[in-house]
């Protein structure tokens, strides 16, 4: 990716997690699943707050 950087040093979090779980070296399923759960919780929290502050959960009265 970047000039002068060793391969694998510019991975994003998801590809790093994939390599942890399914890589060819030692497979660390526990750490990979922990990262996945933390990412899920962060994205879920951000999504919930976005829906709450934009009023997306409010019902519209069409009567």
Residue 61 domain-assigned? no
Range of the domain at 40: 13-20+27-50
Residue 44 domain-assigned? yes
**Residue pLDDT, tens place only, 26-60:** 888 999 999 999 999 999 999 999 998 998 777 77
Residue 62 domain-assigned? no
Question: Under 8 Å CB-to-CB from 7, ≥6 apart: which residues?
Answer: none
Write the burial class of residue 10 (CB in 10 Å: 0-12 exposed, 13-18 middle, 19+ buried): exposed
Taking the model in full, what pTM does it have? 0.70
Residue 33 domain-assigned? yes
Residue 63 domain-assigned? no
Residue 7 domain-assigned? no
Give residue 1's pLDDT. Answer: 52
Q: How many domains does the chain have?
A: 1
With b meaning 16 or more CB within 10 Å and e meaning fewer, what string describes 17-48?
bebbeeeeeeeeeeebeebbeeeeeeeeeeee
Residue 6 domain-assigned? no
């Amino acid at each position: 990716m970047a000039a002068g950087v060793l391969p694998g040093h510019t991975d994003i979090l998801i590809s790093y997690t994939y390599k942890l779980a399914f890589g060819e070296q030692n497979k660390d399923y526990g750490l990979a699943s922990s990262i996945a759960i933390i990412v899920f919780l962060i994205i879920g929290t951000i999504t919930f707050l976005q829906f709450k502050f934009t009023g997306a959960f409010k019902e519209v009265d069409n009567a």
